[in-house]
Structure 1
Amino acid sequence: MDTSIFKQDALAKKKVSVLADTTQALSTFVQAQRVGARLNERGLAGILRLAELQSQLVPDWDKNHFDGKALFILCSLLTELMLNVSSVPGDLAVYGELESMLEEIADGEWFE
C-alpha cells in the first residue's frame, strides 16, 4: 500500500498550521516593537535556530544579508519563513519544530 498520500496530506495540514502560527508571531513581533521590547536570551538563541530551519527548507539560502538589530532579524526571518513555507516542499520535523517556536514567539516568551 502506498502511504505517500498520507504524508502529503500531513505536510499540507502542517504547512497551513505553520503559516497561521507565523502570522500570529509576526503580529506579536509588531506589538513588541511598538512597546520597545527586546529579545531575551531565549529569543536570541531562537533566532539562530530559526535561521538553521530556514537553511533546511532552502539549502542555498543566503544567511549573510542579515545585519542590524535582533528584532529586525527576527522580522526578516519570519517573513522569509512564511514565503518559503508556502512555496517550498517541506519536512514534517522542520514544520513541527517551527510550529513550536512560533507559538513561543506568539505567546511573548521571546521578549522582555
Structure 2
Amino acid sequence: MGTQKWQIDPESFGKAAGRTQHVADRIGAVWSKLDSGLAALGSPWGTCRTGDQFANGEGGNGYLKTKTGVGQGLVGPQGMVPSIGNLADGQRKTGEKVREFETGNAGRFKPKK
C-alpha cells in the first residue's frame, strides 16, 4: 500500500476546466435561446380564464412563476451555470497551483555545482 505511486497532471486540470466551462456555456446558451424565443411569443395563452389559470396558476404557482424559478435555478446567481463555471475556475486554479508547486519543488532538487 505505501509503495503506490500517483501523480497530478496540471494540463489535465486545464483541459477539464475547458470542458467544464463549455458545459456551463452550452446550458446558458440553451436557456437564453429558449427564454428569448418564449418572450417573442408574448402571452400565447390569452386573457381568458383558462389562459390566466395556466399563466398564474392556483395560488400564483403557474407557468410564469415556474419559468422564473427555472431561469433562476439555471442562470441566477446561485444557479447551475454559475456553479459549473465556478467548478471550472477551481479546476483551472488547481492546475496552475500544481504547476507552481512542481516548479518550486523541482528547483530544490537540482544538483549543487
Q: Aligning the two structures, in what range does the TM-score lie when normalised by the shorter sequence?
A: 0.3 to 0.5
Pick 1 or 2: higher relative contact order, CA cutoff 8 A, min separation 6.
1
Q: TM-score by structure 2 length?
A: 0.43
Find the structure with the greater CA-based Rg. 2
